[in-house]
Amino acid sequence: MNATHLECSLTGERYEAGRVHNLSKAGKPLLVRYDIAAARRTLTRQSVADRVPGMWKWRELLPHDGEPVSLGEPETPIIALTNTAARDGASTLLVKDEGRLPTGSFKARGLAMAVTMAKQFGVERIGMPTNGNAGAALAAYGARAGIETVVICPSETPEINVTETAAYGARVYVADGQIDECGALVGKGAAEGLWFDCSTLKEPYRLEGKKVMGFELAEQLGWEVPDAIFYPTGGGTGLIGMWKAFDELEKAGLIRSKRPRMYAIQAEGCAPMVRAFERGDEFAERWEHAATVATGIRVPKAVGDFLILRAVRESGGAAIAVPEGAILQAVDDAARDDGFLFCPEGGAVLAGWRQALQRGLVRHDERVLLFNCANGNKYPLVDRSRKLVLGEADPAAL
**Within a 10 A sphere around the Cβ of 384, how many other Cβ atoms?**
6
> 78-100+211-378 has which fold?
Rossmann fold (3.40.50)
d(CA 236, CA 238): 6
DSSP H helical segments within 258-375, as ranges? 272-279, 305-315, 324-338, 344-359
Give the pLDDT of the chain (398 residues) as one tens digit per residue. Answer: 789 999 999 999 999 998 999 999 999 999 999 999 999 999 999 999 999 999 999 999 999 878 999 999 999 999 999 999 999 999 999 999 999 999 999 999 999 999 999 999 999 999 999 998 999 999 999 999 999 999 999 998 989 999 999 999 999 999 999 999 999 999 999 999 999 999 999 999 999 999 999 999 999 999 999 999 999 999 999 999 999 999 999 999 999 999 999 999 999 999 999 999 999 999 999 999 999 999 999 999 999 999 999 999 999 999 999 999 999 999 999 999 999 999 999 999 999 999 999 999 999 999 999 999 999 999 988 888 988 999 888 889 88
3-state helix, strand, coil split of the chain in percent (to 5) is 45, 15, 40
Q: Does domain 105-205 have CATH number 3.40.605.10?
A: no
Tell me the whole-structure pTM to 2 decimals.
0.96
Are 357 and 90 contacting, i.e. CB atoms less than 8 angstroms apart? yes
What residues does CATH 3.40.50.1100 cover in the chain? Answer: 78-100+211-378, 105-205
**Within a 10 A sphere around the Cβ of 191, how many other Cβ atoms?**
10
